[in-house]
């Protein structure tokens, strides 16, 4: 699995490095533009995780890499496990970059204030409830992006990125229509319950519980996705 992880990492290393730099700048800009941290984490996770993870499928198809990779001492299961390990690392990279930007901004402000100056941060950034909102936003983004990559990755392993690019719009359309069909008349009820939900999320216990539920759901989504990927890749003919 580690060999397969390193092979995947080699393919995207230069791109991930460039992306880390860009992410840092974008996160910094977003923090002050939106006057909030949740968007920063959402953007960082989205840039690091699905954008690069989904592109790994196109590297597989380029120049026969998927066939060449299987001539190296890795098995098909290693390839799939290594891919999911890398996706986890990319998600952590997103969280880490956003965390570094948050820490840098708060630290700079602390140094600024220590020189007996007023804070240069917008007041919203230090508002009550901001840490809870940030944590829930980050975990929700992890879940949403995991659903995206969790659907696309087994499709890439089964059909290859070129075919998936063609069929993905139909998959998304079916997913959205299916979602609306499942929700049915419950949509109005959900909207009505949202203010109460937000009040609960603003509490420490509420945020912690929500984060726990979201992370467990993320892990479950990726576990199901990994199992599907292993099953389809085991039968894929190169």
Partner 1 sequence: MTIPSPLLEAHRLGKHYDGFTLSGVDLRVGPGEVVGFVGRNGAGKTTTIKALLGLIDPDEGDGAVLGTPIREMSRKAGTATKQCIGVVFDTLAYPDAVRVRDIAGVMRRCYRDWDDAAFDGLMRSFGIGPRMTVGELSRGMGMKLSLACALAHAPRLLVLDEATAGLDPMARDEALDLLRGFVEDGSRGVLMSSHITSDLDRIADRVVCIDAGRIVFDRPKDEITDMMGVARCRARDLDSVLGSGLCDGPSGPLVLRREYGVDVAVPDRFAFAGRFPDIPCDHMTIDDYMHFVLEGGSR
Residues of the shown chain interacting with partner 1 in the complex, contacts defined by CB under 8 A: 2-3, 6-7, 10-11, 13-15, 59, 62-65, 67-78, 234-235, 237-238
Question: Residue ranges of the alpha helices (H) in the chain?
Answer: 2-34, 38-48, 50-61, 65-69, 76-114, 130-159, 161-183, 186-201, 204-235
CB of 164 to partner 1, least distance (A): 19
Q: Cβ 38 to partner 1, closest distance in Å?
A: 33
* Residue closer to partner 1, measured from CB, 37 or 157: 157
In the bound state with partner 1, the residue whose beta carbon lies nearer, of 75 and 126, is 75
- The closest alpha carbon to 232, from 150, 167, 151, 158, belongs to 158
Q: What angle do CA 212, 48, 123 make, to 5 degrees?
A: 65
Q: What's the min distance (Å) between Cβ of 70 and partner 1?
A: 5
Q: Which residues contact 149 (CB under 8 A, 6 or more apart)?
A: 49, 50, 53, 54, 87, 225
For partner 1, the closer of residues 35 and 76 by Cβ is 76
For partner 1, which is the closer residue by CB, 15 or 117? 15
- The CB-of-14 to partner 1 minimum distance in angstroms stands at 4
CA distance 23 to 15: 12
Q: 86 or 211, CB closer to partner 1?
A: 86
64 vs 187, beta carbon nearer partner 1: 64
Q: How far is the CB of 218 from partner 1 (least distance, A)?
A: 28
Q: How far is the CB of 158 from partner 1 (least distance, A)?
A: 15
Separation CA 201–CA 168 (nearest Å): 34
d(C-alpha 102, C-alpha 84), whole Å: 27
Distance, CA of 229 to CA of 235 (rounded, Å)? 10
């Amino acid at each position: 699995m580690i060999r397969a992880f390193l092979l995947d990492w080699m393919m995207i290393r230069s791109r991930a490095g460039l992306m880390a730099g860009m992410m840092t700048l974008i996160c910094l800009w977003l923090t002050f533009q939106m006057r909030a941290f949740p968007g920063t984490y959402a953007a960082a996770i989205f840039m690091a995780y699905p954008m690069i993870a989904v592109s790994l499928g196109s590297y597989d198809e380029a120049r026969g890499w998927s066939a060449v990779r299987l001539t190296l001492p890795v098995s098909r299961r290693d390839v799939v496990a290594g891919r999911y390990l890398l996706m986890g690392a990319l998600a952590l990279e997103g969280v880490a970059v956003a965390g570094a930007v948050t820490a840098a901004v708060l630290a700079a402000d602390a140094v600024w204030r220590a020189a007996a100056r007023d804070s240069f941060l917008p007041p919203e950034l230090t508002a009550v409830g901001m840490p809870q909102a940030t944590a829930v936003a980050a975990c929700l983004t992890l879940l949403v992006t995991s659903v995206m990559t969790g659907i696309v990755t087994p499709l890439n392993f089964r059909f290859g990125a070129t075919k998936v690019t063609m069929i993905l719009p139909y998959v998304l359309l079916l997913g959205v229509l299916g979602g609306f069909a499942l929700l049915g008349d419950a949509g109005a009820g959900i909207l009505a319950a949202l203010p109460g939900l937000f009040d609960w999320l603003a509490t420490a216990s509420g945020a912690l519980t929500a984060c726990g539920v979201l992370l467990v759901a993320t892990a479950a989504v990726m576990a199901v996705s990994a199992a599907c990927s292993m099953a389809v890749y085991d039968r894929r003919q190169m």
